[in-house]
Amino acid sequence: MEARLNLMASPVAAKAMKHIVAAGKALADSTLPAATRELVMLRASQINGCAGCIDMHTKDAAAAGESAVRLNLVAAWREAKVFTDAERAALELAEQGTRIADAAGGVTDEVWANAAKYYDEDQLAALVTQIAVINAFNRGNVIIQQPAGDYQVGQFH
């Protein structure tokens, strides 16, 4: 399987993608826990059906010490006992932030208030930005049908 298009071969797309990559890298300097960022990116990628990002974030999270049990249960986080209340709040925010079109109001006040119980304003800003960035990557990869499975940990870092 080959991608429909090599975005990095296009000067315009490559330039734009570098900015999206830079935005994602800036989030690594936030106080939002790295494990939370990876769980959020994995969940949004699952929702969007982005095989490339699922491959990448599962492998990166595992390499950073995340357990296989937690990674395997991200898709069913509501029924899993392995996530903290803060992680659950972040995962719910990620779901609603990813599924904006499914709910006329977008992210509910209840979900926002729940996330705000666990994260300060800087962490909330990082969380919102992380959700937006991963959704941008997901959409690009899904549109061009980027194949998955051969990602190596740290390949794009």
Report pLDDT digits (tens) over 63-112. 999 999 999 999 999 999 999 999 999 999 999 999 998 876 789 999 99
What are 111-129's pLDDT values in tens digits? 999 999 999 999 999 999 9
pLDDT digits (tens, 9 = 90+) for 1-41: 789 999 889 999 999 999 998 998 899 999 999 999 999 99
Q: Quote the distance between the C-alpha of residue 18 and its chain's center.
A: 17
pTM above 0.85, yes or no: yes
User: Exposed, middle or buried by CB within 10 Å (0-12, 13-18, 19+), for 23?
Assistant: middle
DSSP track, 25-73: HHHTTSSS-HHHHHHHHHHHHHHHT-HHHHHHHHHHHHHTT--HHHHHH
* pLDDT at res. 157: 65
pLDDT for 105: 76
| pLDDT-based confidence at residue 152 (cuts at 50, 70, 90) | confident
| Angle in degrees, CA 130, 127, 90, rounded to 5 | 115
